[in-house]
Amino acid sequence: MMIKAVLFDLDGTFADTAPDLAAALNQVLDEEGEPALPFEIIRPVVSHGGNALIRLGFNFNEQHTDFERLRKRFLSIYQNNISNLTTVFDGIKELLDTLESKQISWGIVTNKPSWLTDPLMEQMGYTNRAATIVSGDTTKEKKPHPEPLFYACREMNCQPSECLYIGDAERDIIAGNSAGMTTITALFGYIEPKDTPENWGADAMIEHPKDIEGFL
């Protein structure tokens, strides 16, 4: 089947958002009188969102009385500094040029909420180029459910079997496989040491965005 569309997870696959997220977390830690965490500790956790980062930074879960206050403060800082240090991963710009030259549609499917996804994509300059941008609150379900991927296919007027989905988390691969897409694990993304991407069931694993061109 000819590939007609390519979909990317956002954090850790399309864009390297970890520097801004790490800076926001460390600012909250500083405000609370806690020591900053090394970037190398924060980076692998970024794909799992704000709750996971608060759990990492403060070593307590959502039931803690301060959790929601700290989460909201973290998100406020991040929202106001969402693209200070964020860039697309090396090779993404060239890949998008290749896709567009081949008239292959591309888009984003992320669990990040739209109030963060939309300004980030706008500030990076990709909103008008993407054929679809599906956030964690665009559909009733979010990944690992396949519904966001089906929504993206409807917007791009293609069948799931004609689409590649690239992500750096197991939920991305589960969602893509459930949707009937060809799935690719981005090993350059935010993968924790305990993760076993070789067991996620993706059709392929890649070390660099340029490797995607071999599937087109």
Judged against a pLDDT cut of 90, whether residue 1 lies above it is answered with no
Annotated active-site residue in 9, 168, 172, 211: 9
What is the residue-averaged pLDDT of the chain?
Answer: 97
Q: Is 11 a catalytic residue?
A: yes
Which class would CATH give 5-16+86-215? Answer: alpha beta
> pLDDT per residue over 164-193, tens digit each?
999 999 999 999 999 999 999 999 999 999
Catalytic-residue membership of 9: yes
Task: Please give the full DSSP string across the chain, using - where no structure is assigned.
Answer: ----EEEE-TBTTTEE-HHHHHHHHHHHHHHTTPPPPPHHHHGGGGGGHHHHHHHHHHS--TTSTTHHHHHHHHHHHHHHTTTSS-EEPTTHHHHHHHHHHTT-EEEEE-SS-HHHHHHHHHHHT-TTT-SEEE-TTTSSS-TTSSHHHHHHHHHHT--GGGEEEEESSHHHHHHHHHHT-EEEEETTS---TT--GGGS--SEEESSGGGGGGG-
pTM above 0.85, yes or no: yes
pLDDT higher than 90, residue 47: no
Given the residues 11, 16, 168, 172, select the one marked as catalytic.
Answer: 11
